[in-house]
Amino acid sequence: MRVSMGADDCHLAYIDFLDKSKSKIDFNGNKLPVTLMLSGCGTFNSPYSLEFENDPYAKALVYLNEETMKPDLPIFFNNMNTLLSKLSFYKLNRQTMKDLFDVIDWVEVGNRTLFNPEKVRATLYLFENTYQEVQGGSFKQKRRSLPLEGLVFDAFPDMYKNLIKLIQSKMIIKKSEIKLALVIRPMTAQKN
């Protein structure tokens, strides 16, 4: 067992389990869906980022199609990290909405150019972790998630503004931890 953590802020840790009975030669990539948790906490001092250079799950996405993914996937992740570094939930509502929209839009660009041709789809998810103390000093964790997709927010712009206000209030009272993740899953057949 090996434990490692994000290089900058120690907000994200990994535990790897190795199966010595399997060979590297037999590996054809991750089983989908894959959840890539972003480190950071959405503040100026600790912005969100994807540690794709050290994350084995992010690296293994190359096996979706080595020819296109190997040169283009690092560029996609680098640009996403640039946009994420500007995202802070402590900014004014309008600026936070714009920064979050830019990240969501970039994921959609990645879907059109990188992921959809390989029959997979990437979605940015928002996770809220809350901890409640129970008897004896132990804690009960509750996790809620919400997919952040441009189509939904285009259809319901007020929901977008209210979501930003909700996240800001949860972060200010510090009873919740707000995390982001990029979830890559196989595309499903569209029903008309």
State the Cα–Cα distance between residues 183 and 32, nearest whole angstrom. 9
Least confident of 54-63, 144-153, 183-192: 183-192
Average pLDDT value for residue range 22-26: 68
Residue 8, in any domain of the structure = yes
Q: What is the pLDDT of residue 9?
A: 55
Residue 17 lies in a domain: yes
Asked whether residue 150 carries a pLDDT value surpassing 80, the answer given is yes
Amino acid at 23: S
Task: Report the number of distinct structural domains present in the chain.
Answer: 1
- Helix, strand or coil for residue 165? helix
pLDDT at 118: 92
pLDDT of residue 113: 94
**How far apart (Å, rounded) are the C-alpha atoms in residues 178 and 167?**
7
Which residue carries 């939904």 as its tokens? Answer: 152
47 falls within a domain? yes
> Is the pLDDT confidence value at 145 over 60?
yes
Q: Flag whether pLDDT at 172 surpasses 90.
A: no
Q: Per-residue pLDDT averaged across 142-161, rounded?
A: 86
Domain assignment present for 155: yes
At 7, the pLDDT band (50, 70, 90 cuts) reads low
Could you tell me the residue range of the domain that residue 85 belongs to?
2-186
Handedness of CA 79, 85, 88, 93 (dihedral sign): negative
Element (H, E) at 58: helix 56-60
End-to-end CA distance of the chain: 47
Q: Is 192 a domain residue?
A: no
Tally of CA atoms within 13 A in the half-sphere of 110 that contains its CB: 26
Assess if residue 9 is contained within a domain.
Answer: yes
Contacts 24+ apart (CB under 8 A), 23-27: 27/60, 27/63
Q: How far apart are CA 178 and CA 192, in angstroms?
A: 35
56 cis-preceded (ω within 30 degrees of 0): no
pTM summary value: 0.79
Q: What is the pLDDT of residues 76-107, one digit of tens each?
A: 999 999 999 999 988 888 898 899 999 999 99
Cα 82 to Cα 47, 53, 86, 143, 146, distances in angstroms: 10, 15, 7, 27, 23
Query: What is the predicted pLDDT for the residue at 125?
Result: 95
Evaluate whether residue 102 is within a structural domain: yes
Task: Write down the pLDDT at residue 72.
Answer: 94
**Residue at 181 is within a domain:** yes
For residue 74, what pLDDT is reported? 94
